């Protein structure tokens, strides 16, 4: 008697880890600021197989010979990849801390230190302008 069993499985392993800073300061009173996003992608192929064989031979009515064999194999391939996007260090350091994450700190994810550190100031000015009504431009550019 011969027997073959085989299993091939593909598993998509995908995970996102967010890093938050929950220490408000006087300069940055937001209660929670996202400082980093880690994307982990690790698809995995798993192959398993088992082969068995049983052979019986009866030489005489009182004598029989049996041979049982088993072969099993397992093979897995992991393709783990990681991408880290860091907007700021997870602290309140004056040069690299949470105050350099622009936006609301949760849904908006960017680093305000681009172009010599002026991007954060530009974003804050733009948010202030958007929150206050402005008159329409009398000379719109076409």
Residue 46: per-residue pLDDT: 94
Look at residues 37, 33, 27 and name the one whose alpha carbon lies nearest to residue 101: 33
Average pLDDT for 3-14: 92
Residue 72 has pLDDT above 60, yes or no: yes
- Mark residue 29 as left, alpha or beta (left: phi above 0; alpha: psi -120 to 50; beta: remaining): alpha
Q: Which of 2-6, 39-43, 75-79, 116-120 has the lowest mean pLDDT?
A: 116-120
Place of tokens 């088993």: 70
CA 76 – CA 70 distance, rounded (Å): 20
Residue 117: per-residue pLDDT: 47
The predicted-structure confidence for 93-141, as pLDDT tens digits, reads as follows 666 677 667 766 566 656 655 444 455 555 556 656 655 555 555 565 5
Residue 136 is given by DSSP the state P
Q: Residue ranges of the domains in the chain? A: 2-131
Most confident region among 10-14, 15-19, 54-58 by mean pLDDT = 54-58
The predicted-structure confidence for 28-62, as pLDDT tens digits, reads as follows 787 888 878 888 888 899 999 999 999 999 999 99
Residue 80: per-residue pLDDT: 87
CA 122 – CA 119 distance, rounded (Å): 5
Q: In a 10 Å sphere around its CB, with 0-12 CB exposed, 13-18 middle and 19+ buried, how is residue 15 labelled? A: exposed
Residue 115: per-residue pLDDT: 44
CA 50 – CA 69 distance, rounded (Å): 11
């Amino acid at each position: 008697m011969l027997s073959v069993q085989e299993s091939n499985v593909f598993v998509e392993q995908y995970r996102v880890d967010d890093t938050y800073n929950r220490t408000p300061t006087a300069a940055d009173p937001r209660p929670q600021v996202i400082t980093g996003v880690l994307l982990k992608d690790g698809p995995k192929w798993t192959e398993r197989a088992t082969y068995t064989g049983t052979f019986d031979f009866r030489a005489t009515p009182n004598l029989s010979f049996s041979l049982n064999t088993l072969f099993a194999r397992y093979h897995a391939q992991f393709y783990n990849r990681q991408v880290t996007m860091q907007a700021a260090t997870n602290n309140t350091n004056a040069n690299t801390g949470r105050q350099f994450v622009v936006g609301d700190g949760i849904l908006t994810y960017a680093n305000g230190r681009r172009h010599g550190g002026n991007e954060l100031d530009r974003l804050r000015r733009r948010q202030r302008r958007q929150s206050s009504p402005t008159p329409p431009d009398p000379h719109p550019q076409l």
